[in-house]
């Protein structure tokens, strides 16, 4: 429960009066404030800057430094204030947490210093509010990565027993690791450049033999070009085979984009070698040479920017698709319109709609070659509309792509989408967790409740025997687990339970009981109830002794009165039995096993023997059958605890 709404708890409790006339059971006693003093101002001096707040504000979170007695260590007697030698700026966030119940992370703050302050004041970073949690996690991750990078750099210098294969792979992936890798990197880069230049220069017309027409260089110096080509392909093949050998996962390597590019780059040469003799397919062979241009893509291993560009295009696939789609729509529309507009004019170039496509594309991209122009007035009008709209349609999706590129370039190139999904899931999980935490806190304290009340009670007779000190110590030990606010909240929930005559249980237990349907036998609390025989031992043993009404020894007999009409048994039946309140966990056994912790601690601290007065209820056939009782209001076993 957020501290912000703690101020509304009195209201919620007052509103509970609305349930009272409806309830059929007596309500539990409200927790009282043991020492109700006037609220006082506390002065917190943090490195000279003084903060003041109410004591109650700080008490909202008793398990932090400021909310517990730990702050007494920092109390300065002379100035009557609490002095902390810490950063006052970060302390602002810490104090705001107490005031509003939400912890914020200031963006300008260094993540490490913030973490330290939180640790000092005993605040868990996980409760940072939704608004700032993403930022916090991002910064933490960046920091962790930075540390890891540092570690890796150190690690690189000394490599413990890496196999030759692993060394090679690392050399390929990261040219900075060794000199050999660097050499290899530059050599391959050089040969890629050479190969590309060769392909280009091949087609340039070199000087001609006087009596022949101009021939491209490729045909003039066939041998030279062929040798150069062969050399390049050799290098590429060797490189590819070496990469294939070094790859940790060969199958994955072969499927990766870069390796496909490598293969496509060198294949034409080999195919050409094989097919040199056959004249018929030489035409096809020439076309295959086009694929040699793919060698230029090998540069993307050498250039980070190129890789980012490729990644951007991949991640903007949807925007690109939209651009294409809208363009196609516009082209078709305008081509149709232009065709019909120009149909009338003679010698028109717009011979068919597909022919008009070319005009539309050239106009929309504002190229305007001028090889096709409309001649009719209608055609000119529609042509101008076409060019105007072209600017718009193209201008709209392009900035999206541009911004995507710059974003990816400036950030890490991890898979952003994958991270976002995980973050969203984590966020929902946190919200769910805080909800279940507050509800489980109530269930948890319910189980404690019986024990606590018993303990309080038994302190009366035991106070003689025990020393003052130890009893108060025990009391404090119990009180520490929940603040007054929490106990009031739990009392409220308890009243609701009594009103509706149903209990809160946790998910697990509910699943079980729901599945098992009409479960007849409940697990009892391990204490065995020695019941008197006349009574339906059955019904008593079946009733689950979870109900704990507040101890009202004085009003004991008064409680019997409401049970006027339940009777098939002798009413006055009150059984006294001794019950050991043992670790409640054993009684619940596997059913409510989610919450262990302090509960078991408390229980095991001492065993208490208490007396329980139980009043049997009429036999109930089904466990859920409270409301099925034909006779008037149903009454559960009223279990009261009183000292022996």
Number of residues that bind other proteins (CB under 8 A): 75
Q: Should residue 593 be labelled a site residue for other proteins when binding is judged by CB under 8 A?
A: no
Q: Which is nearer to other proteins, 360 or 499 (CB)?
A: 499
Across 548-565, b (16+ Cβ under 10 Å) vs e yields: bbbbeeeeeeebeeebee
State the nearest-atom distance from the C-beta of 432 to other proteins, in Å: 11
Q: Using CB under 8 A, which of the segments 174-182, 253-261, 465-473, 508-516 binds other proteins? A: 508-516
CB-based contacts of 588: which residues, under 8 Å, 6+ apart?
A: 447, 523
Q: Which is nearer to other proteins, 11 or 270 (CB)?
A: 11
Q: Pattern of binders to other proteins over 423-462, x per CB under 8 A?
A: ------------xx-xx-----------------------
Q: Should residue 485 be labelled a site residue for other proteins when binding is judged by CB under 8 A?
A: no
Q: Should residue 503 be labelled a site residue for other proteins when binding is judged by CB under 8 A?
A: yes
**Where in 157-176 is the site for other proteins (CB under 8 A)?**
none
State the nearest-atom distance from the C-beta of 392 to other proteins, in Å: 5
**Where in 96-125 is the site for other proteins (CB under 8 A)?**
100
Applying CB under 8 A, among 15, 197, 281, 433 the residue interacting with other proteins is 15
Q: Are 109 and 14 in contact (CB under 8 A)?
A: no
What count of other Cβ atoms lies within 10 Å of the Cβ of residue 597?
A: 10
Q: Which is nearer to other proteins, 142 or 624 (CB)?
A: 624
Pairing state between β 81-84 and 41-46? parallel
Q: Pattern of binders to other proteins over 280-319, x per CB under 8 A?
A: ----------------------------------------
State the nearest-atom distance from the C-beta of 564 to other proteins, in Å: 11
Q: Which two tokens stand for residue 515?
A: 């599945």
For residues 608 and 466, what is the distance between their CA atoms, to the nearest angstrom? 14
For residues 584 and 581, what is the distance between their CA atoms, to the nearest angstrom? 7
For residues 26 and 615, what is the distance between their CA atoms, to the nearest angstrom? 15
Q: Should residue 486 be labelled a site residue for other proteins when binding is judged by CB under 8 A?
A: no
**Location of structure tokens 């970073």:** 125
**Location of structure tokens 């072969």:** 254
The full length of the chain comes to 644
Q: Using CB under 8 A, which of the segments 41-49, 60-68, 301-309, 501-509 binds other proteins? A: 501-509
State the nearest-atom distance from the C-beta of 628 to other proteins, in Å: 8
Applying CB under 8 A, among 70, 507, 596, 597 the residue interacting with other proteins is 507
Q: Which is nearer to other proteins, 88 or 623 (CB)?
A: 623
How far is CA 239 from each of CA 169, 185, 242, 259, 301, rounded to the nearest angstrom?
Answer: 12, 10, 5, 11, 13
Kindly tell me the sign of the dihedral angle through the C-alpha atoms of 450, 456, 461, 464. positive
Q: Which of 247, 246, 235, 240 is nearest to 187 (CA)?
A: 235
Q: Which is nearer to other proteins, 13 or 86 (CB)?
A: 13
Q: Which backbone phi and psi does 606 adopt, to 5 degrees?
A: -155, 150
State the nearest-atom distance from the C-beta of 454 to other proteins, in Å: 22
State the nearest-atom distance from the C-beta of 101 to other proteins, in Å: 10
Q: Which is nearer to other proteins, 149 or 624 (CB)?
A: 624
Q: Which of 122, 33, 113 is nearest to 74 (CA)?
A: 122
Across 482-515, b (16+ Cβ under 10 Å) vs e yields: bbbbbbbbbbbbbbebbbeeebebbeebeeebee
Applying CB under 8 A, among 25, 192, 335, 612 the residue interacting with other proteins is 25
**Where in 227-286 is the site for other proteins (CB under 8 A)?**
none
For residues 301 and 483, what is the distance between their CA atoms, to the nearest angstrom? 62
State the nearest-atom distance from the C-beta of 56 to other proteins, in Å: 9
Q: Should residue 10 be labelled a site residue for other proteins when binding is judged by CB under 8 A?
A: yes
Q: Are 330 and 390 in contact (CB under 8 A)?
A: yes
Kindly tell me the sign of the dihedral angle through the C-alpha atoms of 349, 352, 354, 356. positive
Q: Which is nearer to other proteins, 271 or 393 (CB)?
A: 393
Q: Are 40 and 98 in contact (CB under 8 A)?
A: no
Q: Should residue 5 be labelled a site residue for other proteins when binding is judged by CB under 8 A?
A: yes
Applying CB under 8 A, among 202, 229, 239, 506 the residue interacting with other proteins is 506
Q: Are 335 and 356 in contact (CB under 8 A)?
A: yes
**Where in 35-94 is the site for other proteins (CB under 8 A)?**
39
State the nearest-atom distance from the C-beta of 543 to other proteins, in Å: 12
Q: Which is nearer to other proteins, 558 or 644 (CB)?
A: 558
Helix-helix angle 598-605:416-465, to 10 degrees: 20
Q: Which is nearer to other proteins, 23 or 264 (CB)?
A: 23
What pairs with residue 611 in β-bridges? 578, 642
For residues 254 and 532, what is the distance between their CA atoms, to the nearest angstrom? 81
Q: Pattern of binders to other proteins over 320-349, x per CB under 8 A?
A: ----------x--x----------------
State the nearest-atom distance from the C-beta of 352 to other proteins, in Å: 22
Q: Which of 136, 150, 138, 173 is nearest to 416 (CA)?
A: 138
**Where in 597-636 is the site for other proteins (CB under 8 A)?**
623-628, 632-633
Q: Which is nearer to other proteins, 30 or 308 (CB)?
A: 30
Q: Which is nearer to other proteins, 243 or 491 (CB)?
A: 491
Q: Pattern of binders to other proteins over 347-386, x per CB under 8 A?
A: --------------------------------------x-
Kindly tell me the sign of the dihedral angle through the C-alpha atoms of 409, 193, 275, 202. positive
Q: Should residue 8 be labelled a site residue for other proteins when binding is judged by CB under 8 A?
A: yes
Q: Pattern of binders to other proteins over 546-585, x per CB under 8 A?
A: x-----------x--xx-----------------------
Q: Which two tokens stand for residue 473?
A: 């110590």
């Amino acid at each position: 429960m957020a501290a912000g709404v703690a101020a509304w708890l009195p209201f919620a409790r007052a509103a509970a009066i609305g349930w009272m006339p409806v309830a059929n059971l007596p309500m539990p006693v409200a927790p009282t404030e043991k020492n109700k003093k006037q609220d006082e101002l506390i002065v917190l001096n943090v490195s000279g800057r003084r903060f003041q707040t109410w004591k109650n504000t700080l008490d909202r979170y008793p398990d932090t430094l400021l909310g517990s007695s730990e702050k007494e260590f920092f109390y300065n007697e002379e100035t009557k204030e609490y002095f902390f030698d810490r950063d006052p700026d970060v302390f602002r966030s810490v104090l705001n947490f107490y005031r509003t119940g939400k912890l914020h992370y200031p963006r300008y703050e260094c993540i490490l210093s913030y973490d330290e302050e939180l640790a000092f004041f005993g605040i868990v970073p996980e409760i940072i509010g939704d608004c700032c949690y993403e930022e916090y996690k991002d910064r933490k991750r960046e920091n962790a990565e930075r540390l890891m990078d540092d570690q890796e750099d150190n690690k690189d210098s000394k490599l413990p027993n890496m196999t030759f294969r692993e060394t090679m792979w690392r050399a390929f992936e990261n040219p900075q690791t060794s000199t050999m890798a660097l050499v290899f990197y530059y050599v391959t880069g050089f040969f890629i450049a050479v190969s590309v230049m060769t392909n280009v220069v091949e087609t340039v017309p070199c000087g001609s033999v006087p009596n022949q027409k101009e021939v491209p260089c490729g045909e003039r110096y066939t041998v030279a070009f062929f040798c150069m080509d062969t050399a390049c392909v050799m290098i590429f093949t060797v490189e590819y085979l070496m990469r294939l050998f070094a790859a940790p996962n060969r199958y994955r390597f072969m499927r990766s984009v870069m390796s496909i590019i490598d293969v496509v780059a060198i294949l034409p040469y080999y195919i050409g070698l094989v097919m040199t003799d056959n004249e018929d397919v030489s035409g096809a062979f020439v076309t295959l040479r086009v694929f040699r241009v793919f060698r230029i893509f090998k540069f993307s291993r050498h250039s980070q920017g190129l890789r980012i560009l490729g990644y951007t295009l991949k991640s903007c696939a949807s925007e690109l698709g939209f651009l294409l789609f809208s363009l196609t729509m516009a082209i078709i529309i305008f081509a149709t319109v232009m065709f019909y507009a120009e149909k009338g004019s003679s010698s028109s170039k717009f011979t068919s709609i597909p022919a008009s496509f070319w005009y539309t594309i050239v106009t929309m991209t504002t190229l305007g070659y001028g090889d096709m122009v409309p001649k009719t007035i209608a055609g000119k009008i529609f042509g101008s509309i076409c060019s105007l709209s072209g600017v718009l349609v193209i201008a709209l999706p392009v900035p999206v792509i541009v911004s995507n590129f710059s974003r990816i370039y400036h950030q890490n190139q991890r898979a952003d989408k994958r991270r976002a999904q995980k973050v969203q899931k984590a966020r929902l999980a946190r919200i769910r967790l805080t909800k279940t935490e507050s509800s489980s806190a109530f269930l948890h304290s319910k189980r404690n409740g019986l024990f606590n009340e018993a303990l309080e009670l038994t302190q009366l007779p035991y106070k003689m025997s025990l020393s003052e000190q130890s009893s108060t110590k025990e009391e404090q030990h119990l009180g520490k687990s929940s603040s007054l606010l929490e106990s009031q909240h739990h009392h409220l929930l308890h009243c609701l339970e009594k009103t509706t005559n149903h209990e809160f249980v946790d998910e697990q237990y509910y699943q079980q009981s729901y599945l098992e349907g009409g479960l007849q036998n409940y697990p009892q609390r391990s204490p065995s109830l020695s019941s008197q025989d006349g009574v339906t031992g059955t019904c008593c043993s079946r009733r689950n002794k979870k109900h704990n009404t507040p101890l009202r020894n004085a009003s004991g007999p008064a409680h019997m009165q409401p049970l006027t009409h339940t009777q098939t048994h002798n009413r006055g039946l009150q059984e006294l039995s001794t019950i050991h309140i043992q670790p409640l966990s054993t009684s619940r056994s596997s059913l409510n096993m989610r919450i262990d912790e302090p509960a078991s601690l408390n229980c095991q601290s001492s065993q208490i023997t208490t007396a329980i007065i139980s009043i049997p209820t009429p036999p109930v056939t089904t466990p859920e059958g409270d409301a099925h009782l034909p006779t008037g209001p149903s009454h559960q076993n009223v279990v009261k605890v009183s000292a022996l």
